[in-house]
Structure 1
Amino acid sequence: MGELTVFIIEDDFRVADVNRQQVEQLPGYRVAGCAKTMAEAFDILEDTQLQPDLFLLDVYIPDSPGLALFRELRIRFPEAGIVFLTAAKETGTIGEALRGGAFDYLLKPVSFERLQQTFSRFRQQHVLLSTRTELFQQEIDLMRTGGDAARNSAQTEGQLPKGIDRLTLDRIADIIRKSPAGGMNASDVGTAAGVSRSTARRYLEHLTAAGQVKAQLNYGDVGRPERKYIPSE
């Protein structure tokens, strides 16, 4: 997957420049444009036919009373994510933003680490939703909580979900690490590991959710796309 595009809407040009610099330090992202007002934002977006993957915006925009800009963006760009970066701390504003579908709500000044956490989680969600036809509960949980936090917690506690044992997990992980360039499907992994296809699939999805394995769909000439697993880079 290529870079995700970000459009920044911030009325203070100095803050906007800082935001741009921080976003462009994040792997897999590029800033596609900036605007100081709602009118300027929509002029740029309409002129360029830009379809950003993510908007980063302030609440306090001169020509956008309340959350007018946020509501308009949700209508015009329903598939784009929206992250607030603002000094607005009012619970009513925060509640409306989150209920309205904002991906995250960050208060100024935000640390680079916190910003990075949000953008990493957004990219994980974007990848899952754009490359998959179905999701398992563990993957939905991963999108909601963030993969790094989930992995760190699991590693710290040394716990595995019910139905996953360490020896089999390590064996399947090793099989994928040594797999051919095109990856392996669940049946092939099951045969190599000496387990059933459904068991192999369960372990492979656990490894995928943990970020140790990547799943990809290979489309053939006929029939349903084949799901193959490859090592994470």
Structure 2
Amino acid sequence: MTISKSVWIIEDDFRVAKIHADYVHNIKGFIVIENLRTGKETIEKLKTTSSLPEIILTDLYIPDVEGSSLVSHIRHLYPSIKIIVISAATEISLIKDILDLGISDYLIKPFEEQRLQRAFQKYLQEHHLFQNSKNVTQKDLDSLFYRESTNKIIDEETFVKGIDLHTLQIVKSIFEDLKTQDLTASQLSELIGSSRSTARRYLEYLVGEQFLQTKLIYGTVGRPERKYVYHGTYEQN
């Protein structure tokens, strides 16, 4: 059974907090554990909790918080927590201070749900890389730091509809790391935090690009299961 990764939301407007929580719950594999309204409440909760969250979503405009002070506090005392800032703040000096603290992402309000999904996909990519690899390659790091293809720059506006370049790179990296293993659409959806249909869309796209090949696994009952395997290892299987 897959254990959902915990998320805390720090937002003083309960209506906005609910919208953000709904967005998170639409991302498979994540669950909102805490909705916090103030900096003081957050600091006390961090001190007393038995289980720190994997991700914190936080606004900057919180009544008892000045600028980047809360983000700085969390980064220094709880460096393992990934912080995604969601704020209407666009002042250059403040943004620079926040980025210098090493946050995972910054979303300017208002934003589209898909943008938050991409932030979580980046988290999953990092998590997968560090959990499953002893060493990294330059290609691994490029996939974390750059959204463009490492071979050529592609304008996302002209890319295939329904295919996000960042997500595509995550899927490709997963198969390259797995080497000789294969995956079903359901298994991939668990890894990238998407629906099964979305996972299948990326798989079928990569089949068309000859990056992946498919094979059918016949069970004792029902229809055969479609599995996907990295093209470079297909002959070995």
- Asked if TM exceeds 0.5, the reply is yes
Q: CA deviation at 1:29?
A: 1.2
Residue identity opposite 2:65 in structure 1: S
Asked if 1:213 is matched to 2:175, the reply is yes
State which structure, 1 or 2, has the greater radius of gyration over its C-alpha atoms: 1
Asked if 1:92 is matched to 2:93, the reply is yes
Matches within 5 A, 1:188-199: none
Partner of 1:13: 14
> Structure 1, residues 89-135: CA drift from partner, whole Å, max 9, x if none?
10111111111101111100110111111111111112212332210
Greater shift, 207-216 or 78-87, is seen at: 207-216
Any gaps of 5 or more consecutive residues in structure 1? 157-206, 217-227
Distance 1:229 1:125 in 2: 21
Distance 1:54 1:119 in 2: 9
Distance 1:212 1:61 in 2: 38
Residue identity opposite 2:96 in structure 1: G
TM score, norm. by length of structure 1: 0.65
Residue identity opposite 1:17 in structure 2: K
Partner of 2:160: none
Q: CA deviation at 1:145?
A: 2.6
Distance 2:107 2:4 in 1: 22
- Does the C-alpha gap of structure 1 residues 214 and 34 become closer, same or farther in structure 2, counting only changes over 3 Å? farther
Q: CA deviation at 1:209?
A: 7.1
- Does the C-alpha gap of structure 1 residues 62 and 111 become closer, same or farther in structure 2, counting only changes over 3 Å? same
SS in 2 for 1:89: coil
Partner of 1:231: 182
Any gaps of 5 or more consecutive residues in structure 2? 156-168, 189-237
Residue identity opposite 2:22 in structure 1: Q
Q: Identity over aligned residues, as a percent?
A: 30
Q: CA deviation at 1:215?
A: 3.4
TM score, norm. by length of structure 2: 0.64
> Structure 1, residues 130-160: CA drift from partner, whole Å, max 9, x if none?
33221001011111235xx649x7899xxxx
Partner of 2:23: 22
Distance 2:55 2:18 in 1: 17
Q: CA deviation at 1:83?
A: 0.7
Distance 1:101 1:10 in 2: 20
SS in 1 for 2:181: strand
Matches within 5 A, 1:82-231: 82-146=83-147, 150=149, 210-211=172-173, 213=175, 215=177, 229-231=180-182
Partner of 1:71: 72
> Structure 1, residues 193-233: CA drift from partner, whole Å, max 9, x if none?
xxxxxxxxxxxxxx9872461636xxxxxxxxxxx642243
Residue identity opposite 2:182 in structure 1: P
- Does the C-alpha gap of structure 1 residues 58 and 214 become closer, same or farther in structure 2, counting only changes over 3 Å? same
SS in 1 for 2:8: strand
Asked if 1:81 is matched to 2:74, the reply is no
Partner of 2:58: 57
Distance 1:70 1:23 in 2: 20
